[in-house]
Amino acid sequence: MENAIIELEGLTKFYGSLKAVDNLHLKIKAGEVFGLLGPNGAGKTTTILMMLGLTEPSAGTAKVCGFNATRDPISVKRKVGYMPDNVGFYDNMTAFENLLYIARLNGLGIDNVHDRVQEMMELVGLGAAMHKKTSAYSRGMKQRLGLADVLIRQPEVIILDEPTLGIDPTGVKEFLQLIRELSRQQGITVLLSSHHLHQVQQVCDRVGIFVGGKLLAEGNIHQLSQNLFSEESCLVTITLADTPPDTAELESMLSEIGAVRKVTVSGNGVDISCVENITPELVRLFVEKGFGITGVYRKEYGLEEIYQQYFDNNLTENVSHGKSSGLFQRSFFRKTAN
């Protein structure tokens, strides 16, 4: 990849004997929206902390905007805006003052910093609650303030750790749209970690699936589904008006088509797994043979399936390995407990 803005090479982090992040290699292009997906305790936050130099890797390097995050965290932090998952503010100050403080810390305290702060507060939709103490803020408002806090510094890279936690569905949509919009217009690179699959699916160019400290797969959703469901990257279900008289004949007829891998006939439903999308040909064939079609449904593999597949694979793998299964069980239960 040519202009990688985030480069992780062999990044590893131990907590005692627990390997939180395991030999992670990852490159993120400038201007990309990258989603880091994984269950709780997968090492997402640890990875992010290492990118910001807030914790030291046990091995490997993290390079952000060309700076080594461990050696030169200040240069990295000048370019990167980070919103932690549990964003906190000074409760005894108003939201405006909180934001002003951050702006001043970033050396913006000279010209029209007040206007700038106000503009930001209005942008994230907190214009009316600007002079309230942050202790009176709801979780969602704090999250928005957190975004303002990140954006006021004009970062090149934005790292968001579980950004949609605690925001209502419409809020999430707006929030993600804003992020997407920003990335498109200003060429800002966005890295967001989440376990909310749908949301990530909506905005990310690429995703990385991260379980147990390992990056199991990365790529865009299409690539991932091809990798994972190479056997059956496309599943077409055709519902017929009547039950076909000779199922065996129908199956053999369909199997002759090159792209078809598997045919299952059950009642008046026909499931056809194929390598590529040949739905039009299939429909034409059925019509030519005189079948009445009442419904055609093409199933696409979304992130949910992809994630589930990886997660399940990993779970069974670990159960079969016996020893280290505890970690995944535990992280799974923690997820459900949340």
Partner 1 sequence: MESPAVYFKDLFSGRLRIKKAARSEAAFYNRPFAVMVRKEVADHIRSWRFIVLLILIVLTFAGAMYVSLSNLKAAVSNENDPDHLFLYLKLLTATDGSLPPFHIFMSFLGALLGISLGFDAINAERNNGTLIRLLAQPVYRDNLLLAKFVSALIIVAALFLSLSLLMIGGGLVITGVPIETAEVFRILSFVILTVLYVGFWLSLAILLSVKFKQATTSALTAIGIWLFFTVFYRIIVNMIVRSFFPDPNLLAQDDILFYNNLILDLLRLAPSQLYTDATTTLLMPSVRSLGPLTMEQMAGAIPSPLPFRESVLIVWPQVSGLLASTAACFALAYFWFMRREIRT
Q: Give the residues lining the site for partner 1 (CB under 8 A).
A: 45, 49, 52, 54-56, 74-75, 77-78, 80-82, 84-92, 101-102, 104-112, 116, 119, 122-125, 144, 146, 149, 151, 153-154, 171, 174-175, 177-178, 181-182, 185-186, 188
Maximum alpha-carbon separation in the chain = 82
CB of 90 to partner 1, least distance (A): 6
CB of 41 to partner 1, least distance (A): 13
CB of 110 to partner 1, least distance (A): 5
Q: Are 211 and 218 in contact (CB under 8 A)?
A: no
Following DSSP, what letter does each residue of 305-336 receive, concatenated?
A: HHHHHHHHHHHHHHHHH-TTHHHHHHHHHHHH
CA separation (Å) from 69 to 5, 47, 103? 12, 11, 22
CB of 334 to partner 1, least distance (A): 16
**Alpha carbons 258 and 235: distance in angstroms, whole number:** 15
Residue number, 110 or 248, with CB nearest to partner 1: 110
Q: What is the token pair recorded at 263?
A: 């045919």
Residue number, 82 or 301, with CB nearest to partner 1: 82
CB of 95 to partner 1, least distance (A): 13
Closest CA relative to residue 302, chosen from 202, 208, 218: 202
CB of 196 to partner 1, least distance (A): 18
CB of 209 to partner 1, least distance (A): 22
Residue number, 182 or 235, with CB nearest to partner 1: 182
Residue number, 183 or 233, with CB nearest to partner 1: 183
Residue number, 28 or 49, with CB nearest to partner 1: 49
Pairing of strands 269-274, 260-266: antiparallel
Residue number, 6 or 124, with CB nearest to partner 1: 124
Residue number, 65 or 254, with CB nearest to partner 1: 65
Residue number, 8 or 188, with CB nearest to partner 1: 188
CB of 201 to partner 1, least distance (A): 20
CB of 3 to partner 1, least distance (A): 18
Q: What is the token pair recorded at 185?
A: 């217009």
Angle between helices 139-151 and 95-105 (to 10 degrees): 30
**Alpha carbons 124 and 143: distance in angstroms, whole number:** 10
Q: Are 207 and 220 in contact (CB under 8 A)?
A: yes
Neighbour count for residue 64 (Cβ, 10 Å): 28
Residue number, 86 or 243, with CB nearest to partner 1: 86
The one-letter amino acid at 45 = T
Burial grade of 160 (CB within 10 A; 0-12, 13-18, 19 or more): buried
CA separation (Å) from 275 to 98, 225, 304? 55, 12, 20
210-229: b (≥16 Cβ within 10 Å) or e? bbbbbbbbbeebeebbeebb
